Amino acid sequence: MNKKKTIAIKDPRLRKIRDSLREVISQAVYKEMSKLFESMKKEDRGTADGYERYWELNSKKSELRLNLKKSTIRCPACNFGSDRDVRYNLYDNAWYCVDCFKDYEFLYYVTMARKERGYYIGLDYDEEFARSFTEDDANIEYEIQRIKNAFEKIDVTSVRDKIELLHARTRREVINDIINAFFIARIAEDEKGFGEISHLLAPFFKKLRETGLYDEYQKNITLVSIEVSGKDFGLLNE
């Protein structure tokens, strides 16, 4: 475990052992919960004794579920199988897989940037919970401002010119420009249709293939869902 309270195992053999243990423990817990549920169904809650036993069994089942949530076995957000490293969230007193942890962090910054621009944020949005996934509270306002600036300044069509400067820029910078423009456009798709954005970016994808950058680009973004952190989008500090 490192200073960020992240449990990460690099050795393939140890990962396999860990994953197997997780699966065994997980299945044992679910099996016990299932048994408790079946016992609950048999109790007659119309009687005082049956009612008391029903809630005793329910309490045991709830305790098992809570303990599973607080363990390193299952991520409370995505309920991952058994093969991911985990990181501790003090606010929720639970271990989240590192992928969800990064997504919560990045989406917090994006949500705050949208809020600053006047976008409606649902009343059910738990800002304090979301903020608990940030790396460093001291940098929060700075990061929000960076994303606000990205909203205002990045023009999707301007990426065309940036691509032409490949010889003068690093591979990573060019890829980040494309990712930034594409992602910023997607989260503002209430202003511009996703189809239009895809059409604008088509020539850039072609250029990436011609310059051999497309495979590297694919490693850094998934067009269907967010599967990388805000840092990989180039919007947050390294």
For the residues of 99-160, what is the DSSP string, one character each? HHHHHHHHHHHHHHHHHHTT----TT--HHHHHTT-S-GGGHHHHHHHHHHHHHH--GGGHH
Task: Copy the structure tokens of residue 72.
Answer: 């390193």
Amino acid at site 145: Q
193 in Cβ contact with 70 (< 8 Å): no
Amino acid at site 56: E
d(CA 211, CA 229): 25
Task: Copy the structure tokens of residue 93.
Answer: 């007193």
The string over 79-92, giving b where at least 16 C-beta atoms fall within 10 Å of a residue's C-beta and e elsewhere, is: ebebebbbbbbeee
pLDDT at 72: 86
d(CA 38, CA 28): 16
- Helix, strand, coil shares of the chain, percent, nearest 5, are 60, 5, 35
Three-class HEC string of 53-83? HHHHHHHHHHHHHHHHHHCCCCCCCCCCCCC
pLDDT at 215: 62
Task: Copy the structure tokens of residue 88.
Answer: 């501790």
pLDDT at 209: 67
d(CA 72, CA 97): 9
Q: What is the pLDDT along the chain (238 residues), one digit of tens a residue?
A: 444 688 888 888 898 888 888 888 888 988 999 999 999 999 988 898 988 999 999 999 988 888 888 888 888 888 775 678 888 887 788 889 888 888 888 888 888 877 877 878 877 788 878 888 886 544 445 444 554 454 455 444 444 444 444 333 444 454 555 555 555 445 444 444 444 445 545 655 666 666 665 665 555 543 322 333 333 333 333 3
CA within 13 Å, CB half, 77 = 20
pLDDT at 67: 84
Q: Can you give the length of the chain in residues?
A: 238
